[in-house]
């Protein structure tokens, strides 16, 4: 069973119900540490995502997992590589039992194809190299849709900043050579920082790539928790970092500072398109499930 968009409380309730109905003796929860949650079923054990590939954990779990064990795969969609080593270790655990629950707050990283990693987990990778939506009828999927909405707050830069932007862009393009082309937008976006700084409200909280301005009300995309509502000072480049922010903050309606530099517009549009891709994934999944 794959469960999308569940709260920690709902995850716990789902595990309890499954264990009561399936004579489960122990629960292993595979999860990034930031996503650990209170599990009422005993005994249970959390195994941190980064430890899954470590021999001391890997071989012990292979010995302990059987059909009386439930494996919970919690927020483990952390890379687009369907053949990732950690994913392959998880697959080997799943071959030891037919009891699994897959939790993920958002069903993709960038595109609908990413969902098939979760599909692999729930079907013991029977269709590992395939991504045909028709296959989704082979598993049970429950969705609590998370529809992200980005609200732009326009910020206007001065002439000096625009000149610096043009010079920086030309320098980056001239020296890109064999470097990752995404180096260009990553670096250009930072130029809008000083202009956005003038629009900071001391009574609000912000999230950005780093806290280079040493603000007390600024956090980054690498925090362990996000206890309040945040305005996006600037987007992170990698969607997985923003997914972790969204999943931990449970923030859906998000204000974003957007300067009039083209790179800022590019990032904002990129995330708006991404939010639409998430909605398309929900629609695709629900459409296939309704046919079953």
Residues 89 and 198 in one domain: no
Q: Are 159 and 189 in contact (CB under 8 A)?
A: no
Position 290 in a domain: no
Q: What is the pLDDT of residue 23?
A: 94
Q: Tokens for 42?
A: 């005993």
Whether residue 28 lies inside any domain: the answer is yes
List the structure tokens of 218.
């600024």
Residues 128 and 250 in one domain: no
Domain that holds residue 39: 2-144
Q: Are 209 and 261 contained in the same domain?
A: yes
Do 86 and 196 reside in the same domain of the chain?
no
Residues in the chain with pLDDT values less than 70: 177-179, 289-292
For residue 187, the model assigns a pLDDT of: 87
Question: Buried (b) or exposed (e) across 12-42, using 16+ Cβ within 10 A?
Answer: bebbeebbeeeebebbbbbbeeebebebebe
The confidence score (pLDDT) of residue 179 equals: 67
In the listed set 113, 144, 175, which residue is the last one of a domain according to the structure?
144
Whether 40 is in a domain gets the answer: yes
Domain check: are 131 and 175 in the same one? no
Within this chain, do residues 17 and 137 fall inside the same structural domain, yes or no? yes
Please tell me the predicted confidence (pLDDT) of residue 291.
Answer: 63
**30 and 79 both lie in a single domain:** yes
286 within a domain of the structure (yes/no): no
From 99, 116, 144, the end of a domain falls on: 144
Task: Specify whether 13 is located in the same domain as 131.
Answer: yes
Domain identity same for 34 and 61: yes
Whether 129 is covered by a domain: the verdict is yes
Neighbours of 243 (CB within 10 A): 25
Give the C-alpha separation, 103 to 80, whole Å. Answer: 17
Tell the burial category of 168 from Cβ atoms under 10 Å away from its Cβ (0-12, 13-18, 19+): middle
Is residue 156 in some structural domain?
yes
Same domain, 244 and 175: yes
Last residue of a domain, one of 85, 118, 144: 144
In a domain, 86, yes or no: yes
Give residue for tokens 């020296």. 175
Q: What's residue 292's pLDDT?
A: 56
Q: Measuring CA to CA, which residue among 221, 237, 236 is closest to residue 181? A: 237
Each as own residue / partner, the long-range contacts of residues 41-44 (CB below 8 Å, 24 or more positions apart, any chain) are 41/15, 41/16
Query: Do the domain assignments include residue 185?
Result: yes
Cβ atoms 218, 206 nearer than 8 A: yes
Report the domain count for the chain.
2
């Amino acid at each position: 069973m794959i469960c999308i968009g569940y709260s920690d409380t709902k995850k716990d309730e789902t595990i309890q119900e499954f264990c009561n109905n399936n004579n489960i003796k122990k629960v292993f929860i595979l999860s990034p540490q930031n996503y650990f949650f209170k599990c009422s079923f005993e005994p249970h054990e959390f195994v941190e995502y980064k430890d899954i590939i470590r021999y001391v954990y890997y071989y012990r779990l292979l010995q302990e997992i059987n059909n009386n064990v439930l494996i919970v795969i919690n927020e483990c969609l952390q890379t687009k590589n369907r053949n990732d080593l950690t994913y392959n270790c998880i697959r080997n655990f799943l071959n030891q039992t037919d009891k699994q629950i897959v939790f993920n707050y958002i069903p993709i990283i960038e595109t609908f194809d990413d969902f098939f990693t979760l599909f692999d987990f729930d079907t013991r990778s029977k269709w590992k190299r395939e991504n045909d939506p028709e296959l989704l009828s082979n598993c049970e999927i429950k969705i609590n849709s998370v529809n992200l909405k980005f609200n732009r707050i326009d910020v206007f830069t001065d002439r000096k900043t625009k000149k610096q932007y043009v010079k920086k862009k030309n320098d980056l393009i001239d020296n890109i050579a064999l470097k990752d082309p995404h180096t260009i937008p990553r670096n250009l976006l930072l130029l809008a920082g000083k202009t956005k700084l003038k629009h900071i409200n001391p009574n609000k909280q912000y999230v950005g790539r780093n806290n280079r301005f040493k603000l007390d009300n600024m956090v980054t995309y690498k925090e362990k928790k996000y206890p309040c509502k945040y305005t996006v000072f600037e987007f992170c480049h990698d969607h997985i970092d923003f997914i972790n922010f969204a999943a931990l903050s449970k923030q859906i309606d998000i204000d974003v500072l957007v300067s009039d530099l083209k790179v800022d517009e590019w990032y904002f549009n990129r995330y708006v398109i991404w939010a639409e891709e998430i909605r398309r994934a929900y629609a695709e999944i629900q459409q296939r499930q309704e046919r079953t």
